[in-house]
Chains A and B, each alone.
Chain A
């Protein structure tokens, strides 16, 4: 990918965004989708939108309103891009937008630095089970041990 545009989403609104780091200066876009962030909850409050907007003003990013995938693809076309670069997401709604983008253009997904790397599969039935694995890897004096793998 030589001329990508960057898709910035609501889980990575900081200067450490891996797409911004990897492609400084490339055109970048954030889209306010109707219903985004709300999921089943209905429209989010204005205070949440203002907060997001203040984060966005600090980033070199074009801000638009509309359908996520359509806006990303139209933005890519305006900038004659040969692909889209973004950062990994957790929210399945973002996954749907990503799938819409990837159906039309190459999409590269960059992973942020993980909080802790755990051996798979991780038992998530209770936090205590997770912490049994994560704690020894996070404590500053013993981080990185493989005792529990």
Chain B
């Protein structure tokens, strides 16, 4: 999954709201069925689209579309801080994934800037950010090769459970954010309200859905795709398959210590399930509990 980020804040007002929200003028006449390109403000845009797309759930993300926020995120890219902190929820991730997914900025454009910043100083710079861009390219190449085959297991699951042991649909308490687990519910809310999750949160949430709740990864992948601004079946489904173990050597699991270390300490304090946390165990104990087949180190 291409990495994302809080810097700079793409939610900052960047549209001329006082003057309304108007598209660039077109050099040809409009036709009667054309959708509008001028609104009194963002709220009016959202109302208009809610009426035109009645099957679409939710509201607007605080993350704005367009090249201005994309270029601001591009400008803030820092390969050094990225490599040092990217696994932390508060880390210096790029926030570029929605813009890259929809070609607002191209992968080649981001590559050029990262290469330039990698060579700007005298010290060698980690290639982690470059590698993260390469993951995106890798997923896209696989999509070209596999087509809709992305929706099928690429390899057999290594969990020891038969496919039939996994529920076909997502339980309602997960997508409604009422499992009672503060971390999982917070991730579900962020997915639905913001349309974006840190990669580590995606992994934790996916592992919970597939391994703790024993739900088919496809159900979780569909849920993510409906909401993620950067959602595409390649990065999304193949990452779910990596967690599930149909595109990796072993299932991905996490424990509470891992979540507390990288989760910015914001979930466990006050969690109603803290005393009976399903993630509070060693990896060995979790693997014994979750999988009938012995697993190697999973994290």
Q: Residues of A at under 8 Å CB distance from B?
A: 10-17, 25, 27, 32, 37-66, 78-79, 87, 90-92, 112-116, 122, 124, 127, 130-131, 134-135, 138-141, 143
Contact = CB atoms under 8 A, between A and B. Distances in A.
A66 B101 CA distance: 22
A59 B24 contact: yes
Contacts of B232: 37, 90-91
Contact of B225 (A41, A52, A139): A41
Given A13-B104, A14-B105, A135-B131, A46 B67 contact: no
B169 to A, nearest CB: 12
A109 to B, nearest CB: 14
B118 A50 contact: no
B161 interface: no
Given A14-B67, A65-B52, A92-B147, A47 B58 contact: yes
A138 B140 contact: no
Given A49-B56, A65-B52, A115-B108, A43 B226 contact: yes
Contacts of B295: none
Given A50-B49, A55-B66, A114-B108, A39 B226 contact: no
Contacts of A11: 101-103
Nearest to B60: A50
B25 to A, nearest CB: 8
Interface of B: 15, 21-28, 30-31, 33-35, 37, 45-46, 49-50, 52-53, 55-61, 63-68, 70, 98-99, 101-109, 111, 115-116, 118-119, 127, 130-131, 133-138, 140-145, 147-148, 151, 192, 194-195, 218, 221-223, 225-229, 231-234
Given A42-B222, A115-B111, A127 B135 contact: yes
Given A51-B64, A63-B37, A87-B103, 20 more contacts: A10-B103, A11-B102, A27-B27, A32-B53, A40-B148, A46-B46, A48-B226, A51-B195, A52-B65, A56-B65, A57-B23, A57-B24, A61-B26, A64-B34, A113-B106, A115-B136, A124-B141, A127-B135, A138-B111, A140-B118
